[in-house]
Amino acid sequence: MQRYRYQDGFEGFLCAVSLCLVDGAEPTGFLRGTVETEPDLFGETVIEIATDRQTALQFRERFMKAVSQPAFATARYAFHSQRADVELLLWRYFTLGLKTGKRMGNMLADRDVATVDKLGRGVAHEAHKYKGFIRFRELKQGFLYACIEPQADILVFLAPHFVQRIGDRPWMIHDMQRAQAAIYDLKQWRLLQGVESSSTPEYTQIEEECTELWQHYFKRMAIKERYNPKLQQQHVPLRSRKYLVEFEPIK
């Protein structure tokens, strides 16, 4: 019995899956990151997996050729759901796909395929929503800053979008719940871990004025007779409003 410990997110996980296939092993579990584990009384070993980008790319190409590109994209989204058993779930999904080929696209009656599909669609939906929920604000330090607290780990899906949308300013998207941030320096974006908020952000005077103007505009444009809080919550859930300036009290 053995578990595999991988690093570096989805890319590292693909390396672990690839090694399992090469070894012909049936893993009992996967471990993420550098968290120490207690010695196992039943002789279960932990195998450390080094991340190799070429190995991950080769597995991606193999799976997409055997099944499809959308099936691989669904698996990637599902991985970022951070469900407790998602690695073993995706291990079964990947091995089933390599075994059945393109037929897997029509196998939604299979429990694992249906679960991965549901998780993937949920994460993709949340990532799409947050492209509209993010509110960048200008800090005195000279860059744009935005806070989010999504249910899934979606920074890797948001960052490329905002590189295209806001490529002429440095920015940071801070996932407060996971203490991580996507940072863009006008050349490339990167993901940083362990990014804690130690103080209240200091916004520029222009940013403060723009925020106030936007809040008054948002309030004035509301039509009292058509106020529908239930419908509003369907489009903008309460958990997403914490960092939306239009829902902050006007100073």
> Phi and psi for 78 in degrees, rounded to 5?
-60, -35
- Does residue 206 or residue 224 have the better pLDDT? 206
> Phi and psi for 45 in degrees, rounded to 5?
-105, 155
DSSP state of 152: S
Prediction pTM value: 0.88
Task: Give me the mean pLDDT over the 76-96 stretch.
Answer: 96
What are the structural domain ranges in the chain? Answer: 2-126, 134-247
Give the model's pLDDT for residue 225: 81
Q: How does pLDDT run across 103-144, given as a tens digit for each residue?
A: 998 899 999 999 999 999 999 999 999 999 999 999 999 999
Give the model's pLDDT for residue 41: 45
CB 63, CB 24: distance < 8 Å: no
* Mean of the per-residue pLDDT values of the chain: 91
6, HSE (Cβ side, Cα atoms, 13 Å): 22
Q: How does pLDDT run across 139-190, given as a tens digit for each residue?
A: 999 999 999 999 999 999 999 999 999 999 999 999 999 999 999 999 999 9
